[in-house]
Amino acid sequence: MDTEGKAFPDRERISLVIPVLNEEAGLKELIEKACPFAGEIIVIDGHSTDRSAAIAGACGARVHFDNRRGKGDALRCAMPLVTREITVFMDADGSHDPDDIPKLVRPIIDGTADHVTGSRLLGGSSELHGGFDEFMRLTGSSLITAFIGRRFKVRISDSQNGFRAVRTDVLRRLDLRENITTIEQEMIIKTLKAGFRLDEVPTHEYKRKSGTSHIRIGKVWFRYGYSLLKYLYF
Ligand SMILES: Nc1nc2c(ncn2[C@@H]2O[C@H](COP(=O)(O)OP(=O)(O)OP(=O)(O)O)[C@@H](O)[C@H]2O)c(=O)[nH]1
Ligand SMILES: [Mg+2]
């Protein structure tokens, strides 16, 4: 990890967690780009069948394996492993730009927020519009976000983005349970429910650089609805 001369001053306060499932194509470049922004990089590999785990290890990341239950399980596996005061979660598919990490952690460093999520609605997305599937995802995501905003009387624009920073002590108090990507909305809801301070900053979501999405909306939409109701009202 050669970051000499260009490291972010708060780097040592940050643990970067990257869930990875068959993302070998862009992983080296991504980890190298992220190095100046994190004191440690933890890759949680979903038992990839490609060279993802080997590449991550060779780039200096700490590599651990999830329990084969999904991305939410992967993020939960990382929680006991992080050693720094701020945890940043970032996807490995090229959708998130490590250069945005300073902006994401700024409100936590300034002491004005406990959890900061990157908003694609404020920062734009190259994935959330343009086709029928994209329309359905944006509609579903906006509806869920609106329910959360109404329940907690807050104005938020994006409850589903995987790019976020959370104070590590707060993260550990959220008692996260979801095994799939529903963990993103669970994190937001539990943050607000417990009275922690949530903030958003604009971050752009880029098109996945290679490989394929692991989300099958037709299979999981009901789990989004169920987990939304469960955490919002019970
Ligand atoms: N460890 C682990 N990582 C996963 C798993 N499923 C997805 N990921 C990773 O989680 C990140 C997000 O997955 P994506 O498939 O891009 O899902 P998404 O970004 O929510 O959806 P798209 O917009 O379709 O890309 C990527 O870095 C994946 O490699 C899993 O079961 N285990
Ligand atoms: Mg993605």
Helix (H, G, I), strand (E, B) or coil at 109: helix
92 lines ligand 1 (CB under 6 A): yes
21 lines ligand 1 (CB under 6 A): yes
19 lines ligand 1 (CB under 6 A): yes
Ligand 1 pocket mutation pick from 49, 64, 76, 91 by most atoms within 8 angstroms of CB = 91
Q: How far apart are CA 21 and CA 71, in angstroms?
A: 9
Q: How far is residue 166 CA from its own chain's centroid?
A: 10
- DSSP conformation letters of 172-202: HHS----SSTTHHHHHHHHHHHTT--EEEEE
Q: Kindly report, residue by residue over 57-76, the tens digit of the pLDDT.
A: 999 999 999 999 999 999 99
20 lines ligand 1 (CB under 6 A): yes
Q: Rounded to the nearest 10 degrees, how much is the dihedral formed by the CA atoms of 150, 188, 104, 97?
A: -110
Identify which of 76, 80, 72 has the alpha carbon closest to the alpha carbon of residue 183. Answer: 72
Asked if residue 158 lies in contact with residue 164, where contact means CB atoms within 8 angstroms, the answer is no
pLDDT value at residue 11: 97
31 lines ligand 1 (CB under 6 A): no
> Mean pLDDT throughout 145-171?
98
DSSP 98: G
- Torsions phi, psi for 196 (to 5 deg): -75, 160
Which residues 6+ apart lie within 8 Å of 3 measured at CB?
11, 35, 36
State what percent of residues in the chain have pLDDT above 70.
97
> Mean pLDDT throughout 167-180?
98
Atom 16, ligand 1: residue with shortest CA distance = 213
Cα–Cα distance list, 234 to 39, 155, 223 (Å) = 38, 22, 16
Residue 176, amino acid? L
Q: How far apart are CA 185 and CA 198, in angstroms?
A: 12
Q: Kindly report, residue by residue over 114-148, the tens digit of the pLDDT.
A: 999 999 999 999 988 888 888 989 999 999 999 99
Ligand 2 centre and the CA of 97: distance in Å? Answer: 12
Cα–Cα distance list, 123 to 1, 109, 117 (Å) = 29, 21, 11
Phi-psi region of 166 (alpha: psi -120 to 50; beta: other; left: phi over 0): beta
